[in-house]
Amino acid sequence: MHHEVISLGFPLWLRIAHFINLLFVILLIRSGIQILSDHPKFYWNVHCALNSEWISFGRKRIEPRQGIWTSMDEAVAPPAWLALPGGYHNLGMGRHWHFFSVFFWVTTGWIYVLLLFITGEWRRLLPASWEVIPGAINTFITYATFHLPPPGEFHPYDPLQQLTYAFVVFILSPLMILTGVAMSPAVDANFPWYPRLFGNRQIARSIHFILTCILVVFIVIHVALVVLTGFSENMNHMVLGGISGGSRTAVAIGLFAIAFVVLVNVLATWMSHKYPRLVAKLTGPFIDLTVWAPLDSLKSRQEYSKDEISPYFWINGRPPDTDTYRQLVATNFQTWRLEIHGLVENPVSLSLPELHKLPRKSQITMHHCIQGWSGIAEWTGVPLGDLMSICKPFSNARYVVFHSYELDEKGREYYGTLSLDDVRHPQSIIAYEMNGLPLPVPYGAPARLRCESKLGFKMVKYLRSIEIVEDYATVGGGYGGYREDNEYYGTIASI
């Protein structure tokens, strides 16, 4: 008996992993709540058809501005104690924290599972026989009738506890990663079969959310039982690796560790509001390394069929509220010209009829908005690769900047950037038709960019000109696009 108890002490690596996990799971949940607030609805259908959500945390529809309802009108503002960083449309910051935490949480998770198997500690979590099932039912009845199992049953774990931990470690956590990846436009474009493993991208997103809810319930019950079943003794186990009795030192260190987690959350929240650019710069390298850069090499190979086209396609961004643009609409874009200039041998200026005369390309693809909604549509236009062959970029050219007619209330232009490599992909096109009709005004008339492995914010609508540059640092605010400059979105935009 004595020997068995000794072998139950938690090793140091396990206690450290437990703490790191606690810290980043909380950051993941809080930043996740921020992300979902930007489109607080979940669907089973990939089109996000209007009013087809199975749950909504949004407000009711209000009067549309300029006669157009956009996905931004549905965004809600969560409180800062709940979401990281809280407030209206802080999606860019929320995503920085989410993917920064993904890096640490996933890395710790791998090391933890590896060590579980190397050291044999996995026996703690994986039941040795099917008897765990009736055992777990018994424990459940004990709890459900407001009793606690006798203390002996916690060593190592009671059957219900063991099953629950095994579920969280071996089922819930991997599914969080797998469904997280299924929401990446680059992954879905390169491997269209992958989101189908879950049904579709919106089902994956719903599962990601439901599992978060289950995780929250788990954490609440877990913490409650730690307190109820002998707080001091449990802290001794998890903080000092002690095997019997309580420990004031352990309680003190444990409470200090919890205070540290709270402090990190308060600081992260405060810094995101006060110094967002600094937060983006500090967290950015981890995100580049783990999430964005590997996904950036994935290119679109998707092609959907006509009957998969979405009945309704959400709109993000209203038509430019300027006289110049209204004039263009009023004259049916007769005077519109697309200028292609910058580091090119042969600058060109093309009218709409001239664009139409160039070889056309049609594609049916899935759009992923960074807010969370998706939709399938057919886009027709001129491959950018052909336009590049016409204008002939110089050898030092590396990026292509897409300028639009849209100016915000501060006069800042909506623009975006792609690498020359992405621009030469066959599905990168200047689209002038959507679902077989001339591109409607809300969707970017007379022409817009499509690059199918990226998030929607990259696909500039209401195009004015295309500029080929060596480095985008000298354009606009310097971060590669309007959203990158002002909303701290990541430039690579692959997830």
**Residues found near ligand MTE in the complex (CB under 6 A):** 313-317, 369, 404, 406, 414, 443-444, 456-457, 459-462
> Under the criterion CB under 6 A, does residue 48 sit at the interface with ligand HEM?
no
Identify the CA nearest to 337 among candidates 323, 324, 352, 325. Answer: 352
Count of CB atoms situated within 10 Å of the CB of 410 = 6
**Chain position whose Cβ is nearest to ligand MTE:** 317
Query: Pick from ligand HEM, ligand MTE, Mo ion, none: which does 182 bind, CB < 5 to 8 A by kind?
Result: none
Q: Which of 183, 370, 382, 492 binds Mo ion (CB under 5 A)?
A: 370
Alpha helices in 191-247 (DSSP H): 193-196, 201-228, 231-235
> Under the criterion CB under 6 A, does residue 25 sit at the interface with ligand HEM?
yes
Cβ nearer to ligand HEM, comparing 173 with 363: 173
> Under the criterion CB under 6 A, does residue 454 sit at the interface with ligand HEM?
no
Q: For ligand HEM, which stretch binds (CB under 6 A), given 1-9, 187-195, 203-211, 441-449?
A: 203-211
Query: Pick from Mo ion, ligand MTE, ligand HEM, none: which does 418 bind, CB < 5 to 8 A by kind?
Result: none
Cβ nearer to ligand MTE, comparing 24 with 489: 489
Identify the CA nearest to 361 among candidates 338, 336, 377, 384. Answer: 384
In the complex, least distance from residue 442 CB atom to ligand MTE, rounded to whole angstroms:
6
Query: Pick from ligand MTE, Mo ion, ligand HEM, none: which does 25 bind, CB < 5 to 8 A by kind?
Result: ligand HEM
> Under the criterion CB under 6 A, does residue 450 sit at the interface with ligand HEM?
no
Give the span between the Cα atoms of 14 and 193, in whole angstroms.
Answer: 37
Tokens of 340: 């292609």
In the complex, least distance from residue 56 CB atom to ligand HEM, rounded to whole angstroms:
12
Give the span between the Cα atoms of 30 and 28, in whole angstroms.
Answer: 6
> Under the criterion CB under 6 A, does residue 180 sit at the interface with ligand HEM?
yes
In the complex, least distance from residue 372 CB atom to ligand MTE, rounded to whole angstroms:
10
In the complex, least distance from residue 317 CB atom to Mo ion, rounded to whole angstroms:
8
Q: Residue 22: exposed, middle, or buried by beta-carbon count in 10 A (0-12, 13-18, 19+)? A: middle
In the complex, least distance from residue 458 CB atom to ligand MTE, rounded to whole angstroms:
7
> Under the criterion CB under 6 A, does residue 183 sit at the interface with ligand HEM?
yes
Structural contact between residues 286 and 103, judged by C-beta atoms closer than 8 angstroms: yes
Residue with tokens 């259908």: 45
Q: Where are the beta strands (DSSP E) in 352-450?
A: 361-368, 374-383, 399-407, 413-419, 429-434, 437-438, 448-450
Identify the CA nearest to 273 among candidates 409, 87, 482. Answer: 87
> Under the criterion CB under 6 A, does residue 209 sit at the interface with ligand HEM?
yes
Q: For ligand HEM, which stretch binds (CB under 6 A), given 31-39, 243-251, 266-274, 399-407?
A: 31-39
Q: Which of residues 332-361 bind ligand HEM (CB under 6 A)?
A: none
Q: Which of 96, 98, 454, 483 binds ligand HEM (CB under 6 A)?
A: 98
Structural contact between residues 182 and 197, judged by C-beta atoms closer than 8 angstroms: yes
Structural contact between residues 352 and 446, judged by C-beta atoms closer than 8 angstroms: yes
> Under the criterion CB under 5 A, does residue 495 sit at the interface with Mo ion?
no
In the complex, least distance from residue 122 CB atom to ligand HEM, rounded to whole angstroms:
20
Structural contact between residues 196 and 310, judged by C-beta atoms closer than 8 angstroms: no
Q: Which of 14, 27, 32, 380 binds ligand HEM (CB under 6 A)?
A: 32
Cα separation values, 79 from 60, 225, 454, Å = 19, 28, 30
Q: Residue 477: exposed, middle, or buried by beta-carbon count in 10 A (0-12, 13-18, 19+)? A: middle
Helix axes 91-119, 276-287, angle to 10 degrees: 40
Identify the CA nearest to 469 among candidates 398, 403, 418, 391. Answer: 398
Identify the CA nearest to 173 among candidates 92, 93, 116. Answer: 116
Structural contact between residues 184 and 295, judged by C-beta atoms closer than 8 angstroms: yes
Q: Which of 100, 336, 402, 457 binds Mo ion (CB under 5 A)?
A: 457
Q: Which of residues 285-324 bind Mo ion (CB under 5 A)?
A: 316
Cβ nearer to ligand HEM, comparing 298 with 348: 298
> Under the criterion CB under 5 A, does residue 369 sit at the interface with Mo ion?
yes
Q: Which of 215, 250, 441, 449 binds ligand HEM (CB under 6 A)?
A: 215
Structural contact between residues 249 and 240, judged by C-beta atoms closer than 8 angstroms: yes
Q: How many residues bind Mo ion (CB under 5 A)?
A: 5
Q: For Mo ion, which stretch binds (CB under 5 A), given 148-156, 264-272, 441-449, 455-463?
A: 455-463
Cβ nearer to Mo ion, comparing 112 with 457: 457
In the complex, least distance from residue 493 CB atom to ligand HEM, rounded to whole angstroms:
12
Q: Which of 116, 125, 166, 181 binds ligand HEM (CB under 6 A)?
A: 181
Cα separation values, 410 from 225, 264, 413, 465, Å = 53, 34, 9, 21
In the complex, least distance from residue 341 CB atom to ligand MTE, rounded to whole angstroms:
19
Tokens of 275: 């110094």
> Under the criterion CB under 6 A, does residue 493 sit at the interface with ligand HEM?
no
Pairing of strands 41-42, 429-434: unpaired
Binding residues for Mo ion, rule: CB under 5 A, are: 316, 369-370, 456-457
Binding residues for ligand HEM, rule: CB under 6 A, are: 25, 28-29, 32-33, 35-36, 98, 102, 106, 176-177, 180-181, 183, 205, 208-209, 212, 215, 372, 495
